[in-house]
Chains A and B, each alone.
Chain A
Amino acid sequence: MGGIELTELEQDALTEVVNIGVSRAAAALRKMVGKQVLLSVPAVEIVTRERAATLLGERESDELVAVRQSFAGAFSGRAMLIFPEDNSLDLVRAVTGDELSPEEVVEMEEEALSETGNVILNGCLATMANMLKRPLTMSIPVVFRGGGSDLFNPDPEAGEDGLVLFLYINFTVLERNLRGYIAMMMDMPSLATLKDLLGQFIAEVVGEAPQ
């Protein structure tokens, strides 16, 4: 994949690191909605932006809502929590505990999405940072809407090379019919760093140098 090839072990390690992050995120979501959250074992893929848009487009034809947070540190990029737009108000209702009037829900929508994304993405990114022992700074979350290809539009300032660490994660919330995805867009140097860090993680855990 575009110069970044993970070994099988690195792939395992990445999946595991992500798994920890996602578990953390799912636990956070569980607390927020007070309902069972079904979490699929994450599948991690490094794909091009276009591929990521296709993967997402294949699954979600409608407009999407994404909460995006930039992260910077040893590796930098942008993380997104993505879910179908028609789930948006449901999610808000879920995290506000069904106590708000419909008007309040609409009024709170943007804010609630932002906070939910913040909790989930922070949980995920922070755990990865802890696992890889490299601190990350995270920006304030931003909510935006659009189709699959809009979400993966390159950030002109960041100058990313168009690779996406795409995690198929289904946050499936029973009785709410909510689902979501997490994607992280990183440039090539960041992915190279990530690969290195995964190697160190493996060495530490397995007790030998990565192949």
Chain B
Amino acid sequence: MVGRLPDRVFVIQVQKVFMPVNVLVVDDSKLARINAGKALTQLQPDWRRVEAASAAQALDIVAAEPIDIALIDFNMEEKDGLTLAGELRDMHPTMPIAIITANIQDEIIARARALNASFVAKPLTAEGLQGFISGASLRLKSVGK
């Protein structure tokens, strides 16, 4: 059980002299993006967050700017999160990707694993996200980020 999240107004963090970590949050739910933001801020206040409300928007962002990590909702209209993750994986074979969904079916988890993506259950909490974020930051350090 998670305690209360800090009562802070979320501010997009644009900082760090050395190459900040860019996190892409893809979710068609604004509420879910806010929650993801809270969890991220709690874990890594220095990371920069970029939001996309659909798979198409996410692909545009990835094409336009450097993205280090992606948190992707599974259940989205038009293109679902696993499909988007597959496309991103093709473009960035090592990018840490997490599929975030309340759909905790074994089949979905298995498909995420097959794409070398992590699975994090909704609703997103700092604790739930911590494992993935720790792993991702290690991986980023190992590649020099």
Question: Residues of A with Cβ closer than 8 Å to B?
Answer: 24, 28, 30-32, 34, 95-99, 108, 111-112, 114-116, 118-123, 125-127, 129-130, 135-136, 138, 140
Contacts and interface: CB of A to CB of B under 8 A. Distances in A.
A111 B29 contact: yes
B30 A135 contact: no
Interface string B105-131: 111100000000000011101000000
B102 A119 contact: yes
A90 B31 CA distance: 15
B1 interface: yes
A114 B122 CA distance: 14
B30 A119 contact: no
A69 to B, nearest CB: 9
Main SS of the interface on chain B?
loop
A111 B31 contact: yes
A28 B102 contact: yes
Contact of B5 (A30, A34, A112): A34
Interface residues of B, number: 29
A122 B76 CA distance: 13
Interface of B: 1-5, 7, 9, 28-32, 34-35, 75-77, 101-108, 121-123, 125
Contacts of A121: 102
Contacts of B77: 140
A116 B35 CA distance: 12
B74 to A, nearest CB: 9
Given A28-B122, A32-B123, A108 B30 contact: yes
Nearest to B8: A99
A120 B101 CA distance: 11
Q: Which interface residue of B5, B9, B29 has the most chain A CB atoms within 10 A?
A: B29
A32 B121 CA distance: 12
A28 B101 CA distance: 11
A30 B105 CA distance: 20
Nearest to A123: B102
B103 A122 contact: yes
Nearest to A25: B102
Nearest to B10: A99
Given A34-B5, A99-B7, A108-B31, A118 B102 contact: yes
A118 B77 CA distance: 13
Contacts of B3: 34
9 contacts: A115-B32, A122-B102, A122-B104, A126-B102, A126-B104, A129-B105, A129-B107, A136-B105, A138-B75
